[in-house]
Amino acid sequence: MGILDGKVVLITGAGRGIGREFALAAAQAGARIVVNDLGTSTDGTDIEGTPAQEVVKEIQAMGGQAVANFGSVASYDDAEAMVATAIAHYGQLDAVINNAGILRDRMFHKMSVEEWRTVIDVHLNGSFNVSRAAADHFRTRETGAYVHMTSTAGLIGNYGQANYAAAKLGIVALSKSIALDLGRYNVRSNCIAPFAWTRMIGTIPITDEIQRERVERLKRMTPAKIAPLAVFLCSDAAREVSGQIFAVRSNEIFLMNQHRPLRSMHRSEGWTVDTIAEHCIPALKPSFYALDRTQDVWVWDPV
């Protein structure tokens, strides 16, 4: 008996990389899979084959059940069609893994409006579209699970990824809102920030030796390492896990913190610009966060 026996899982961007590993692992755990992948290049500009169908064949070859879907998560109509595909083929939908994504990296002062909007459309709007399309079905059945892909680019920060970082941190807020709003219907929502070498990560420009070393470390972290947590979060074993943010880095699993008050200053007569400058900021400054990036926080090699 697999941990996902009898369940139907829709996985977006499941034709390659992390999404493909999710699809294979969920199928091995007993789930029937809707493999969604538009088949685009890493920047979303060109169609590159039919990877969704290829993953379906892999799942079928190992004795599993799967159906392909080629819709775009950026289209709400396509998102509704993904959910309809699951119900038409398998009679239900039990979990959604929002994994589809693209990159349009650019330093902020050089980023175009089109580069901003396109990445937001795929990551943030795409996660909303697919989640919303499944919500009524989940609510009616009073069960369901969402797993969303966030990133330390949003949770911590990175150069040249304002569009991607904003979308990925927005997904965290979306996930928490879903967990709050649909919790009464036994619907769960969680996030994973994955560390893994993928096609998209392979587009990172190598500008110096430090970046080269970082990329070499990433190459040792395979997408298959992320899949067990995603499968677990889709299962009934995770019935009490909702509204959380996890990170997976090779054999390490982290529970990430969420925004809470860190330190406060009180002045009974109220604040002025001068007293803020003279009293408040000097007192708070020792607790300020540095302008860290992911590699500044994870300074040790993957375990």
- Which residues are known to be catalytic? 164
Candidates 244, 199, 188, 253; CA nearest to 225 is 253
List % helix, strand, coil for the chain (3-state, nearest 5). 50, 15, 35
What phi and psi, each to the nearest 5 degrees, are found at residue 278? -85, -30
Candidates 166, 168, 159; CA nearest to 105 is 159
**Cβ proximity of 82 and 36 under 8 Å:** yes
At a CB cut-off of 8 Å and minimum separation 6, what does 265 contact? 279, 280, 283, 284
Q: In this structure, what token pair is assigned to residue 279?
A: 């009293």
- Secondary structure string (H, E, C) spanning 51-82: HHHHHHHHHHHCCCCEEEECCCCCCHHHHHHH
Q: Report the SS3 class of residue 245.
A: strand
Phi-psi region at 126: left, alpha or beta (left = phi > 0; alpha = psi -120 to 50)? alpha
Q: In this structure, what token pair is assigned to residue 235?
A: 């299962």
CA distance 189 to 166: 19
CB-side neighbour CA atoms (13 Å) of 238: 24
